[in-house]
A and B are shown apart, each in its own frame.
Chain A
C-alpha cells in the first residue's frame, strides 16, 4: 500500500501508530524521504487527519492510515474533508471492535465507512481490496478517484490484508507533472484573485445548494464508479455476497461445494460505497437464495436486503470479534441453506426431466 501510494504520487503521510497497520507508517517514514516527501508521526489521530486536510487544501496527494479505534477519532476530519470537497486517501485496516476490541482481522467498520462516520450529509468512496495485488491497484485508484471527484476515499482492508504477504506487480510510478492542474488550491494569492475553501455556510439556502451539489457528485460516482467481481455466477442457484478477506475465504468454500455438485457463485463488491445494487437486483431474476458472509455481526447484509427489494431470501453468516472462519465452516453454511431451500431436489428434478425429454 505504501509503495503503491508513492507511485501514485503521494508525497505526504500523516499518521499515528496502531496495530495491525504499523507496517504502513514504518514503510512511509523511510520511503517518503527518498522521494522528497514528508512523513509526520503526529501526536494523535485528530492531528493526523487535520494535517491531511491542510496538505489536501494545498493541492498535494496525501494519505493517512489507521485501524478502527483510530479511524473513529478521525471522523470529524473526514466530515470536514467531504464538506470542503478535498481529495484525500484514508486507509482503515479494520480490527475487532467495539471499543479497543482486539487486533485481529474484522469487517465491523462497514457501517462507519459506508454511511460516513462523521456528521452531515456526505459520502466517502469506499474501496475493498481482497488481495495484496488489489490493495496495490486500488490504492493507486483511490488517489485518482479522490482527485477526480474532490472527495475523501477510504480503503477498507482488515488485519489479514494488513499482515498477509503475496507477490505483487507494481505499476510504473506516475510523474507528478502529468497530473491535471487543480484550479482551487490554496497556495498563496500573489498575482491572482484569492480563493476560499470553507465548510461553514451559515445561510441555510447556501448550505442546501452546497448539499445538493454534493448529491449530484455522489450520483455521478454511483453511475461511473460502482465496481464488483462475479465468480461462477453463470449457472448459480445460490449466490454468496462477500467482500475483502471474507470473499477470499468464500471462494475457497465455493470451490469445495462445487466439487459436491452445488451450483453456487460469488458476487464480491469492490466498491462498498457506491454499493453494487443493480447487479444484485438483476441477479434475483434467476437466483432466489443469497448468503451474505461477513466478518461482523451483520452490516453489509442490510445493503444487500435493500438492493434486492425483497426479491430474494437473504441469509446471513456473520462472524464478529476478529474470528477468521475457515473455508470449511463457510462451505457448511452454504450447503445448509442450499439444502434447506430444496435447491438440491430441484437439480435432481430438472436432471430427471432432462432425461425424459
Chain B
C-alpha cells in the first residue's frame, strides 16, 4: 500500500510542518516515508508545498504525478493541484479561505473551516495541526493517537501547554472531517 499526498498553501500557514508531522508519524509507525519540500525563496505569503509518500514497500519516486490526497490551504493551490488528484482520491480544503469551484466529481471533498475552528480553540496558529487531524480522519492513513505521540518530537510539542493544545487541535480536525464526510454521504 502506497499513499502519496501533497500539502499546499501560503508560506506561513505551516504547510511544510504539516507534511513533516505526517511523515514523522508514519515513520514512527514503521512505514517507509519520503518528505519532499518544494523550496525556493520561500517567504511568508509566497507559495509553499510539500509531497509526502507513505508506503509499506520501498518508495521509488518521492515525486507524485497523481497524489491520493491533496491538502489545499488557499485558492492558488486549488487551481494548481485539484486536477492532479488520482480518481477516488480525497481533497481536503481550508474552507475558510478556499472558495474556488471544484470541477471534479470523482474525488471526495472534505471542507474544513480551519480559521474558525482554530479561533474557537483559542490559537489561530493551530490551523495546520487541525488540518492534519482532519487528514488522518478522512483518509485513515494515520491514527490520531499516533499523531499525538509524534507531536512531542516536533516544535509543536516542546512545551507541555503547546503540546496539549495541539493534541486538542488534532481532535477538533478529526471531528470536523467526520461531520463533513457524514454530510457528503447524506447529500
B36 touches A163 (CB 8 A): yes
| B63 and A165 contact, CB distance less than 8 A | no
**Which of A159, A166, A254, A326 sits near B63, CB closer than 8 Å?**
A326
Q: Is the CB of B40 within 8 A of A253?
A: no
Q: Are B39 and A165 in contact (CB under 8 A)?
A: no
Cβ 8 A contact of B39, one of A159, A252, A255: A159
Inter-subunit contact A248/B61 (CB<8 Å): yes
Residues of A within 8 A of B59 (CB): 166
Bound-state CA distance A20–B66 (Å) is: 26
Complex alpha-carbon distance, A251 and B53, angstroms: 15
Q: B40 touching A103 by the CB < 8 A rule? A: yes
B130 interface residue per 8 A CB criterion: no
> Do A327 and B23 touch (CB < 8 A)?
no
B69 at the interface (CB under 8 A from A): no
Q: Which of B32, B33, B39 contacts A163 (CB 8 A)?
A: B39
In whole angstroms, how far apart are the Cα atoms of A165 and B52 in the complex? 10
B65 — which chain A residues lie within 8 A by C-beta?
252, 326-329
B121 at interface (Cβ–Cβ under 8 A)? no
Q: Is the CB of A328 within 8 A of B40?
A: no
Alpha-carbon distance A329/B63, docked complex (angstroms): 11
- Which of B42-87 touch A at CB < 8 Å? 59-66
Indicate with 1 or 0, residue by residue over A309-330, a CB within 8 angstroms of chain B CB atoms.
0000000000000001011110
Q: Is A160 on the interface with B (CB-CB < 8 A)?
A: yes
> Which residue of B27, B36, B37, B60 is within 8 Å of A252 (Cβ)?
B60
- B33 near A252 with CB under 8 A, answer no
For the complex, is B10 an interface residue (Cβ under 8 Å from A)? no
Q: Which residues of the partner chain B approach A251 to less than 8 Å between Cβ atoms?
A: 60-61
Give the size of the chain B interface in residues (CB under 8 angstroms).
20
- Complex contacts, A103 vs chain B, CB 8 Å: 39-41
* Contact yes or no, B61 A253, CB < 8 A: yes
Q: Report the minimal beta-carbon distance from A140 to chain B, rounded to whole angstroms.
A: 21
Give Cα A124–Cα B91 distance, bound, in whole angstroms.
Answer: 48
A contact patch SS: helix
A354 at the interface (CB under 8 A from B): no
A-chain residues with CB within 8 Å of residue B37 when the two chains form the complex: 163-164
Contact present for B36 and A160 (CB under 8 Å) = yes
> Contact at B60–A166, with CB atoms within 8 Å?
no
Most A CB contacts (10 A, CB to CB) among B23, B33, B39, B40 go to: B39
Contact between B40 and A166, CB atoms less than 8 A apart? no
Per-residue contact bits, chain A 246-283, to B (CB 8 Å; 1 contact, 0 not): 00110111110000000000000000000000000000
Q: Which residues of B contact A163 (CB under 8 A)?
A: 36-37, 39
Give A230 Cβ to nearest chain B Cβ, in Å: 15
Q: Shortest beta-carbon distance, B59 to chain A, in Å?
A: 8
B176 at the interface (CB under 8 A from A): no
Complex alpha-carbon distance, A255 and B66, angstroms: 14
In the assembled complex, which residues on chain A have CB atoms less than 8 Å from the CB atom of B40?
A: 103-104
B7 interface contact, C-beta 8 A: no
Task: With both chains docked as a complex, state the minimum distance between the C-beta of A221 and any C-beta of chain B, in angstroms.
Answer: 30
List residues of chain B with CB under 8 Å of any chain A CB. 20, 23, 27, 32-37, 39-41, 59-66
Q: Can you pick out 26 interface pairs between chain A and chain B where the beta carbons lie within 8 Å of each other? A: A19-B39, A103-B39, A103-B40, A104-B40, A160-B36, A163-B36, A163-B39, A164-B62, A165-B20, A165-B36, A166-B35, A166-B59, A248-B60, A248-B62, A248-B63, A249-B63, A252-B60, A252-B63, A253-B61, A254-B60, A324-B63, A326-B63, A327-B60, A328-B65, A328-B66, A329-B65
